Amino acid sequence: MRPPAWFAAFLLSVGLCAADDADVIYHNGKIITLWDKAPVAEAVAIRDGRFVAVGSNGEALKLAGPATRKVDLQGRAVTPGIVESHTHPIMAALSERDGPVPVMNSIPEVLEYIRGQAARLPADRLIFVPKVYSTRLKERHYPTRFDLDKAAPGRRAMTDNGYASVLNSALLKEIGVTRDSPEPADGKIIRDANGEPTGLILGAPDLLGPLRRSRPWTHDDLTWALRTMQRKYNEAGITSTVDRGQNPQGVRIYQELHAKGELTVRTTLTYLIRTQGAPQDVRAEMERTPLLTGWGDEWVRVGAIKTIVDGGILIGTAFLRAPWGMNTQVYGYVDPDYRGVLSVPKENLFEMAKAAGELGWQMTAHTAGGGAIDLLLDAYEAAHARTPIRGRRWQVTHGNFPDPRAIERAAKLGVIFDCQMAWHHFDGPALKHVFGPERMKNFLPLRSLIDGGVTVVGGSDHMIRLDPRKSLNSYHPFFGMWMAVTRKTVDGDVLNPEQRITREEALRLWTINGAFGTFEEKVKGSIEPGKFADLVVITKDYLTCPEDEIKDIDALLTVVGGKEVYGSLPR
């Protein structure tokens, strides 16, 4: 028998009410929304992975139904989910695939690590110490081959940072480097006063590349790395990130985990291409790449296409506006006429920018030195003359030394700066002696960039280690915000205090600005109705805690799309 009409109507009304009920309500908190209509709220209601109410406790709790989960925040502070705009998660996790890599701030610590590896690894395995930067060693120089020999007698061992490598005697012998060896192509063998190699080799990618690739990574290794790093990012409050250098293999790893429903960090992929050969070769590679900015969904999407314009400020190869000068001993060389390395021919960079404009790509490029920034902006302006790029959010990756003219040019084109304050904090004490006070005035000038109308996104360039604060570079977002707010360096000095930014500005770098950088400011980056329910409950009130306690803030609970992916709230 069919039910009476009134009963069917009753069931329908119950169903409609249930459909309007919130899945979860977080209430009784201090919610820093970055939403203009309600900058601070007490409560949020979430349904189907999005915020449906942001406001007072009463407003949110009106949406509670019989099945709604209600979470009392007990006055705790909440921020939007963190958008970390510059990471290399797979590379970073792989660095500790074989075990933890300790922080090494001195040559004795490097040697102690080598001794431990010699005792643990098979005798035929190369002992490889990644990302050793002399700017972060208290001695302000690299170890020598003889230091490494003592730490691992009879073993092959090297330290490396992608440009400067120190090889021990066994490894030098294996690759045939002696006092009589000619200089390698695109590199330099550093020798002592007697002409003997010290073990330090600069550049020389053809010679050293096979050693850097001596540890092969399997598909399982790469999958483990991404899974592991996503969990660690969630623990730090990170709900979205920009992977700043992927290739087809990496894209596939993301696709596979996405298909399995295992991703917990929304990721925008930066696609890295080679820009060698002739300009037409660069264009041809871009035209056959089966991706384009915006392709994907809320979990994995394609962002910018990227190239490498110059070297780095930690290895003495960034391309500067003027020669590096006489204070470069920290890098293992002195050459008063040296301006740095250009990794891409000028005409190729210009062709890449023109092609990106015509094909519809967002574009970015690794540009560490001021000369590289200027060259990239030249290429962007040339592309803009053919196909307008303003509004397409092209970017400068790193951009460590933008002078006032570069800031003006970037603002005019709507170019975004992707900056890393970790280099200011950890490397500033060494770099200020290398560059001198005049050039250091333009070192990561966040205040000048923001006041000049340039959008800045916050990120770390995380490359090594799993630990959020001890990694290289530290990816803990509140540690990064503290660096931007205080301008304090690792030695306690305050470098360029006039370039400090406010707490709210710093939070914007790691939230709404990051979302803007990936064209997603309408769906994330702030807490407001209709946006993805991404938030982080934190241990201190970010807006009012003592300034030096900002760096100590941790995530208690991380929520992505309404799902709690890390932590729990103490009762």
Reported as a pLDDT band with limits 50, 70 and 90, residue 19 is: confident
The pLDDT of residue 571 is 72
Contacts of 62 (CB under 8 A, 6+ apart): 53
Reported as a pLDDT band with limits 50, 70 and 90, residue 549 is: very high
User: Where among 191, 212, 233 does a domain terminate?
Assistant: 212
Q: In the numeric block, which tokens belong to residue 411?
A: 């603002």
Pair 380, 307 in one domain:
yes
DSSP 335: -
Q: What is the mean pLDDT of residues 466-476?
A: 97
Could you please report the per-residue DSSP string of 348-416?
Answer: HHHHHHHHHHHHT-EEEEEE-SHHHHHHHHHHHHHHHHHS--TTS--EEEE-----HHHHHHHHHHT-E
Helix, strand and coil content of the chain, in percent to the nearest 5, comes to 35, 20, 40
Question: Where in the sequence is the domain holding 113, given as residue range(s)?
Answer: 99-212
Of 369, 393, 257, nearest in space to 308 by CA: 369
Pair 322, 248 in one domain:
yes
**Chain-centre distance for alpha carbon 237:** 15
On the question of pLDDT at 7 being above 60, the answer is no
Q: What is the mean pLDDT of residues 544-559?
A: 98
Question: Per the domain annotation, does 49 fall within a domain?
Answer: no
Contacts of 113 (CB under 8 A, 6+ apart): 101, 102, 104, 129
User: Where among 194, 212, 230 does a domain terminate?
Assistant: 212
Q: In the numeric block, which tokens belong to residue 486?
A: 């205080």
Reported as a pLDDT band with limits 50, 70 and 90, residue 570 is: confident
Pair 358, 500 in one domain:
yes
Strands 187-191, 238-246: pairing kind:
unpaired
Strands 555-560, 563-567: pairing kind:
antiparallel
On the question of pLDDT at 480 being above 50, the answer is yes
On the question of pLDDT at 8 being above 80, the answer is no
On the question of pLDDT at 11 being above 90, the answer is no
d(CA 282, CA 352): 6
Question: Per the domain annotation, does 39 fall within a domain?
Answer: no
Question: Per the domain annotation, does 25 fall within a domain?
Answer: no
pLDDT over 70 percentage in the chain: 97
Pair 183, 286 in one domain:
no
Question: Per the domain annotation, does 3 fall within a domain?
Answer: no
The pLDDT of residue 18 is 62
Pair 275, 411 in one domain:
yes
d(CA 52, CA 25): 10
User: Where among 160, 179, 212 does a domain terminate?
Assistant: 212
Q: What is the mean pLDDT of residues 254-261?
A: 98
**Chain-centre distance for alpha carbon 141:** 26
Q: What is the mean pLDDT of residues 539-566?
A: 98
d(CA 568, CA 556): 6
Return the half-sphere exposure (C-beta side, CA atoms, 13 A cut-off) of residue 194.
3
Read off the CATH number of the domain in which 198 is found. Answer: 3.10.310.70
Question: Per the domain annotation, does 342 fall within a domain?
Answer: yes
CA distances from 142 to 199, 347, 352, 510 (A): 10, 36, 36, 34
Question: Per the domain annotation, does 569 fall within a domain?
Answer: no
Question: Per the domain annotation, does 204 fall within a domain?
Answer: yes
Of 189, 191, 188, 184, nearest in space to 207 by CA: 184
On the question of pLDDT at 17 being above 60, the answer is no
SS3 496: coil
Q: In the numeric block, which tokens belong to residue 130?
A: 């990644």
The pLDDT of residue 40 is 98
CA distances from 565 to 42, 45, 223, 262 (A): 22, 17, 19, 11
Pair 233, 359 in one domain:
yes
- Which residue's entry shows tokens 């005019």? 412
Reported as a pLDDT band with limits 50, 70 and 90, residue 177 is: very high
**Stated pTM of the model:** 0.94
For the ranges 144-153, 180-189, 270-279, which has the lowest average pLDDT?
Answer: 180-189
Pair 162, 232 in one domain:
no
Pair 198, 332 in one domain:
no
Pair 144, 180 in one domain:
yes
Question: Per the domain annotation, does 94 fall within a domain?
Answer: no
Pair 370, 291 in one domain:
yes
The pLDDT of residue 13 is 37
d(CA 255, CA 260): 9
Q: Please, what is the Cα angle at 537 between 533 and 542, to 5 degrees?
A: 115
Return the half-sphere exposure (C-beta side, CA atoms, 13 A cut-off) of residue 92.
30
Q: What is the mean pLDDT of residues 171-191?
A: 94
> What's the total number of domains in the chain?
2
Q: What is the mean pLDDT of residues 203-216?
A: 91
Read off the CATH number of the domain in which 553 is found. Answer: 3.20.20.140
The pLDDT of residue 185 is 84
The pLDDT of residue 41 is 98
Pair 517, 444 in one domain:
yes
Pair 224, 270 in one domain:
yes
On the question of pLDDT at 10 being above 60, the answer is no
The pLDDT of residue 4 is 53
Reported as a pLDDT band with limits 50, 70 and 90, residue 488 is: very high
What is the tens place of the pLDDT at every residue in 284-305? 999 999 999 999 999 999 999 9
Q: In the numeric block, which tokens belong to residue 51?
A: 């915020």
Q: In the numeric block, which tokens belong to residue 457?
A: 């996104």
Q: In the numeric block, which tokens belong to residue 259?
A: 């298909």
